[in-house]
């Protein structure tokens, strides 16, 4: 269906009296996508609000919100019953327990389609490297020129989700990026990019370097134990991919009663999403794209198998699962 028809269908979901709640797992792509949906609905509804379910702790994400003055509210501070319509962008209801509580009127995403999706308006395109590229197409179809703030958010989000076009992308991502280039504030974007590290995060890099295991000179594993945020696993997994000859980076940590496993690769004939699904989906949500993926395993599910949550045992378990080695009765046996 052409983007112009999808835009009309989207607009027809709403009326002037609607109060719309846009719910996200806050990162640059979801934030920019939510901002774009708000702009598309401006003057077509009574009001809208963007709420996020996670803790925003990554320095670059905090800088994005602060420098661009993005209006966000914590999910726990919002009464969802006060809204007449619900939308989710850059995600799907099955991606988080909180998301699954609601019935949505709009779902716009670029992750692989999960079964059982139901909503009056669904637009999912896994071939896009960034959901912000799709949202930029909606802006252009609506003949809306983005403000500097909105263009900068979208521009930065595409850079992040495509890893500066080093990960899987589409022609649509390139077109969106080129279009936004004229409107984005590149100086602000650069400031956001440089806000990647804090003094508190340095200790995790030190820990990762001391704990890392290298297999076949191509794969790096690092288990960080308890982390203050899952984003630390993401930052360090990306950091390890900068090392010459490394084609896989698998970084894990424990946060809020879950084992978080973040996978990255160089994108050459590999599929991190399929690997995450095969290795961990029987224990919890797992999946992603070809070059980047993630699993979130409740510790109670893990303990049912391992009989422990010892960090060394968990580390060995992750490596066995990734390498396709059967889980034997003695998980303490070292992996060669």
The string of pLDDT tens digits covering residues 316-334 is 999 999 988 644 433 333 3
**Same domain membership, residue 210 and residue 160:** no
Q: Tell whether 336 is covered by a domain.
A: no
Q: Tell whether 175 is covered by a domain.
A: yes
User: 52-74: per-residue pLDDT in tens?
Assistant: 999 888 888 889 999 999 999 99
**Same domain membership, residue 248 and residue 169:** no
Q: Tell whether 118 is covered by a domain.
A: yes
Q: Tell whether 333 is covered by a domain.
A: no
Q: Tell whether 63 is covered by a domain.
A: yes
pLDDT of residue 200 exceeding 80? no
Q: Per mean pLDDT, which of 8-17, 232-241, 297-306 is the most reliable?
A: 8-17
**Same domain membership, residue 304 and residue 162:** no
**Same domain membership, residue 156 and residue 88:** yes
pTM attached to this predicted model: 0.69
User: 221-252: per-residue pLDDT in tens?
Assistant: 999 999 988 888 998 998 999 898 899 999 99
pLDDT of residue 307 exceeding 50? yes
Q: Nearest-CA neighbor of 208 among 257, 256, 244, 250?
A: 250
Q: Nearest-CA neighbor of 173 among 162, 184, 182?
A: 162
3-state helix, strand, coil in the chain (%, to 5): 40, 20, 40
**Same domain membership, residue 181 and residue 230:** no
Q: Tell whether 58 is covered by a domain.
A: yes
Q: Tell whether 332 is covered by a domain.
A: no
Other CB atoms within a 10 A radius of the CB of residue 113 amount to: 13
**Same domain membership, residue 284 and residue 149:** no
**Residue-number span of the structural domain to which 303 is assigned:** 201-322
User: 62-111: per-residue pLDDT in tens?
Assistant: 899 999 999 999 998 889 899 999 999 999 998 888 999 999 999 999 99
**Same domain membership, residue 300 and residue 155:** no
Mean pLDDT of all residues belonging to the chain: 90
CATH number reported for the structural domain that contains residue 278 in this entry: 3.10.310.30
* Boundary (domain end) residue, out of 171, 193, 215: 193
Contacts of 21 (CB under 8 A, 6+ apart): 48, 49, 51, 78, 80, 83, 85, 86, 87
Q: Tell whether 327 is covered by a domain.
A: no
CATH number reported for the structural domain that contains residue 102 in this entry: 3.90.1640.10
**Same domain membership, residue 121 and residue 48:** yes
Other CB atoms within a 10 A radius of the CB of residue 329 amount to: 5
Number of domains in the chain: 2
Task: Give the burial string for 119-145 (b: 16+ CB within 10 Å, else e).
Answer: bebebbbeebbbbbbbbbbbbbbbeee
Contacts of 265 (CB under 8 A, 6+ apart): 241, 247, 248, 249, 272, 290, 291, 292
């Amino acid at each position: 269906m052409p983007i112009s028809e999808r835009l009309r269908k989207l607009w027809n979901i709403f009326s002037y009296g609607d109060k719309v709640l846009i719910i996200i797992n806050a990162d640059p792509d979801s934030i920019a996508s939510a901002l774009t949906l708000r702009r598309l609905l401006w003057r077509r509804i009574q009001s809208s609000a963007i709420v996020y379910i996670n803790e925003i702790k990554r320095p670059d994400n905090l800088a994005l919100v602060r420098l661009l003055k993005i209006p966000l509210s914590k999910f726990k501070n919002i009464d969802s019953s006060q809204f007449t319509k619900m939308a989710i962008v850059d995600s799907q209801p099955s991606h988080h327990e909180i998301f699954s509580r609601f019935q949505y009127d709009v779902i716009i995403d670029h992750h692989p389609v999960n079964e059982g999706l139901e909503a009056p308006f669904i637009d999912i395109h896994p071939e896009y490297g960034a959901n912000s590229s799709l949202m930029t197409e909606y802006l252009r179809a609506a003949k809306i020129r983005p403000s500097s703030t909105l263009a900068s958010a979208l521009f930065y989000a595409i850079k992040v989700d495509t890893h500066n076009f080093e990960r899987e992308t589409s022609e649509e991502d390139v077109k969106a990026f080129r279009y936004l280039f004229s409107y984005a504030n590149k100086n602000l974007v650069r400031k956001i990019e440089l806000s990647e590290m804090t003094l508190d995060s340095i200790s995790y890099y030190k820990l990762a370097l001391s704990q890392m295991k290298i297999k076949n000179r191509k794969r790096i594993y690092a288990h960080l134990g308890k982390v203050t945020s899952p984003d630390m696993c993401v930052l360090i997994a990306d950091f390890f991919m900068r090392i010459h000859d490394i084609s896989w980076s698998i970084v894990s940590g424990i946060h809020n009663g879950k084992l978080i496993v973040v996978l990255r690769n160089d994108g050459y004939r590999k599929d991190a999403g399929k690997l995450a699904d095969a290795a961990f989906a029987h224990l919890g949500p797992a999946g992603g794209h070809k070059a980047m993926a993630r699993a979130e395993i409740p510790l109670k599910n893990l303990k049912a198998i391992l009989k422990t949550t010892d960090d060394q045992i968990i580390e060995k378990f992750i490596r066995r699962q990734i390498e396709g080695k059967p889980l034997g009765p003695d998980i303490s046996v070292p992996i060669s």
